[in-house]
């Protein structure tokens, strides 16, 4: 049985004249069940046995990115992961460790309020934003401080 999010996804594809395929549904379900951005290798591992190959995953992610169903998250140097965006997932920003690539979701209204205040001061209307703050996670900070 399809979830509410899955029904919305199917309708979104139809509204944009994009075929609803079993492969796209599989990828959406995996993305929906994840609490973190997923790289193509992460996706491949999670759909292993479904018949989806890496080339197909790249094409699906390209399509979903163009449709603004997912967006890329830069993790470290040239490592790209993907995650669902609104209305398919709750909006959030990220803290990304530049050493290990760990990504922490930020659900904080203070950040949203600050961005709104800054944009209002400049007379700018924000349609959307995605923010990644890069630094060192607590574990990597400890590792770099150890003798």
Identical fold for domains 1-89 and 91-147, yes or no, is no
SS3 of the chain: CCCHHHHHHHHHHHHCCCCCCHHHHHHHHHHHHCCCCECHHHHHHHCCCCCCCHHHHHHHHHHHHHCCCEEEEECCCCCEEEEECCCCCCCCEEEEECCCCCEEEECCHHHHHHHHHHHHHCCCCCCCCCCEEEECCHHHHHHHHCC
CATH level 2 (architecture), domain 1-89: Orthogonal Bundle (1.10)
Structure tokens at 143: 């590792």
Single pTM value for the model: 0.76
Q: How confident is the model at residue 90 (pLDDT cuts 50, 70, 90)?
A: confident
Q: Which of 58, 52, 71 minimizes the C-alpha distance to 128? A: 71
Distance CA 49, CA 118 (A): 48
Q: Give the span between the Cα atoms of 79 and 108, in whole angstroms.
A: 25
**What superfamily does domain 91-147 belong to in CATH?**
Ferric-uptake regulator, C-terminal dimerisarion domain (3.30.1490.190)
Domain boundary assignment for the chain: 1-89, 91-147
pLDDT tens by residue, 34-71: 988 899 999 999 999 888 999 999 999 999 999 999 98
pLDDT digits (tens, 9 = 90+) for 105-139: 888 888 888 888 999 999 999 887 778 888 999 99
């Amino acid at each position: 049985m399809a979830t509410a999010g899955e029904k919305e996804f199917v309708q979104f594809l139809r509204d944009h004249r994009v075929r609803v395929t079993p492969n796209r549904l599989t990828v959406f379900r995996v993305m929906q069940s994840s609490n973190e951005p997923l790289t193509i290798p992460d996706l491949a591992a999670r759909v292993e046995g479904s018949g989806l190959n890496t080339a197909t995953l790249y094409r699906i992610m390209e399509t979903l990115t163009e449709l603004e169903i997912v967006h890329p998250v830069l993790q470290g140097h040239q490592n790209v992961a993907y995650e669902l965006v609104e209305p398919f997932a709750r909006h959030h920003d990220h803290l990304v460790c530049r050493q290990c690539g760990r990504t922490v979701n930020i659900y904080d209204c203070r950040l949203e309020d600050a961005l709104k205040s800054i944009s209002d001061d400049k007379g700018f209307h924000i349609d959307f934003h995605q923010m990644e703050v890069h630094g060192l996670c607590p574990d990597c900070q400890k590792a770099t401080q150890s003798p």
